[in-house]
Amino acid sequence: MDDLDGDEGQAVPAARRASVDAVLQWAWDAGDFTSNDAMPATGLTRSTTIEAVDELIDLGLLRELPNAREAGAYRKGRPARRFELRADAGVVVGLDAGRLHLTAIVADLRGTVLGVTKKESDEASVSEHDDYPDAARRRRRLIQTTIDRALRAAGRERAEVLAVCVGVPAPVDGMGRSPGHRTGFWTRMNPDLRELLAEWAPIVRVENDASLAAVAEGATGAARDHLDYVAVLAGERIGAGVVIDGRLLRGAHGGVGESVAFDHVEGIEGAYGIGYRIAEWARASIEAGDLPAGHPLAGQGDGSDAVDGVDAVDAKTVLRLAQSGDAWAQTLTDRAGALLARLVGFYGTFYDPSLVVISGAVSGSLEPVVAAARRRVAEELDLPAPEILASSLGADVVAIGATMAAVEAVRAGVLALPRLPAAIASERPEAVNS
Q: For residues 350-364, give the mean pLDDT.
A: 95
- Which domains can be identified in the chain, with CATH numbers? 14-86 (1.10.10.10), 91-221+397-412 (3.30.420.40), 229-392 (3.30.420.40)
Q: For residues 234-254, give the mean pLDDT.
A: 93
Alpha-carbon gap, residue 91 to 427, rounded angstroms? 13
β-pairing, 387-390 vs 355-359, is: parallel
Percent of the chain topping pLDDT 70? 85
In the predicted model, is pLDDT for residue 252 greater than 90? yes
pTM: 0.88
Instruction: Give the model's pLDDT for residue 6.
Output: 38
Alpha-carbon gap, residue 398 to 360, rounded angstroms? 8
In the predicted model, is pLDDT for residue 68 greater than 60? no
Instruction: Give the model's pLDDT for residue 300.
Output: 36
**Who contacts 309 (Cβ-Cβ below 8 Å, separation ≥6)?**
none
C-beta of residue 183 within 8 angstroms of C-beta of residue 132? no
423 or 288: which leads in pLDDT = 288
C-beta of residue 30 within 8 angstroms of C-beta of residue 391? no
SS3 204: strand
Instruction: Give the model's pLDDT for residue 130.
Output: 54
C-beta of residue 235 within 8 angstroms of C-beta of residue 275? yes
In the sheet that holds 387-390, the strands lie side by side as 247-248, 238-244, 229-234, 355-359, 387-390
Burial class of residue 126, CB neighbours in 10 A (0-12, 13-18, 19+): buried
Alpha-carbon gap, residue 93 to 98, rounded angstroms? 15
Instruction: Give the model's pLDDT for residue 267.
Output: 85
Neighbours of 351 (CB within 10 A): 20
Give 81's DSSP letter: P
293 or 345: which leads in pLDDT = 345
Q: For residues 109-133, give the mean pLDDT.
A: 73
Alpha-carbon gap, residue 125 to 217, rounded angstroms? 27
Mean pLDDT of the chain: 87
Q: Which helix (H) or strand (E) holds 164?
A: strand 161-168
Backbone φ and ψ of 324, nearest 5°: -85, -5
Nearest to 77 by CA among 45, 42, 36, 113: 36
Q: Which residues pair with 241 in a beta bridge?
A: 231
C-beta of residue 264 within 8 angstroms of C-beta of residue 234? no
C-beta of residue 172 within 8 angstroms of C-beta of residue 187? no
Q: For residues 303-323, give the mean pLDDT.
A: 75
Q: Radius of gyration of the chain from Cα atoms?
A: 25
Q: Which residues pair with 96 in a beta bridge?
A: 103, 167
Q: Which residues of 147-162 are buried (b: 16+ CB within 10 A; e: fewer)?
A: bebbbeebebebebbb
Alpha-carbon gap, residue 83 to 242, rounded angstroms? 37
Instruction: Give the model's pLDDT for residue 338.
Output: 96
